[in-house]
Homo-oligomer: A and B are copies of this chain.
């Protein structure tokens, strides 16, 4: 059978005494020399990070690993309860919620910044561009991505720290500048305290590092996979899902009275 096109992948290959990933000898050049975040950088950027890139990129990933009791973490915990044989399935269930809404503002802020500065980023008048962006979003009745937080006021401590790191690693450029100005203009214009939140900081710094906005979702998925394993381990020690399920079933379902639910300890016979 003649094949019209050749299948081809260049990510990794091996010979009896060699394993090569993205052009690097894995045992000799990578193992013991780079950390897990650097390896993630290599997968995304097809090159190893500089020391400054390594610090900054690892910090972005670390900031995304764990956000506590999220819908994602709850989905993972409810899933491992029914299918304890499949840790991979429970992580997968949690990752499936990392879609347009969840990662929306990282993607959204990166996209807003990258489109606004698509052409010669350094020549823009950032104040003017920020004002335009804020007005456009207000006129179109759209939320401005990456600003505001229900708890963290007047500043999001994670954004502050990430921006400090951006300064010390040399990534405080026009995207970060624009993001900060957007938050300031929006706060003035809307009369509210709207700090750059962690998703805006990540979107801006990822833009500085040359990471396209469509790839930002990948950062969230990588990092959250790590955090969801942590939730599975806590669920094993200190289960939350069975009670969450029974409480919710009882509260949400008409005609179920106190004596009905809550008296079983396993989902299997329902």
Contacts and interface: CB of A to CB of B under 8 A. Distances in A.
19 contacts: A6-B243, A9-B238, A11-B234, A19-B157, A28-B157, A32-B165, A35-B38, A36-B65, A39-B226, A43-B65, A67-B270, A72-B82, A78-B97, A88-B96, A88-B98, A96-B96, A101-B267, A218-B232, A221-B225
Given A26-B66, A31-B158, A36-B65, 8 more contacts: A3-B247, A5-B243, A11-B68, A17-B152, A39-B62, A43-B65, A67-B270, A225-B225
Interface stretch (A133-141, A176-184, A248-256): A248-256
A203 to B, nearest CB: 12
Given A93-B96, A226-B40, A83 B68 contact: no
Nearest to A63: B31
Interface string A83-108: 11111111111011111111111000
B82 A43 contact: no
A252 B73 CA distance: 12
Contact of A7 (B90, B226, B244): B244
Contacts of A128: none
Interface string A103-127: 1110000000000000000000000
Interface of A: 1, 3-22, 26-28, 30-32, 34-40, 43-44, 54-55, 58-59, 61-63, 65-75, 78-79, 81-93, 95-105, 145, 148-153, 155, 157-158, 160-162, 164-165, 197-199, 215, 217-218, 221-223, 225-227, 229-234, 238, 240-241, 243-245, 247-256, 258, 260-264, 266-270
A96 B100 contact: no
Contact of A158 (B27, B244, B268): B27
Nearest to A164: B32
A216 B226 CA distance: 13
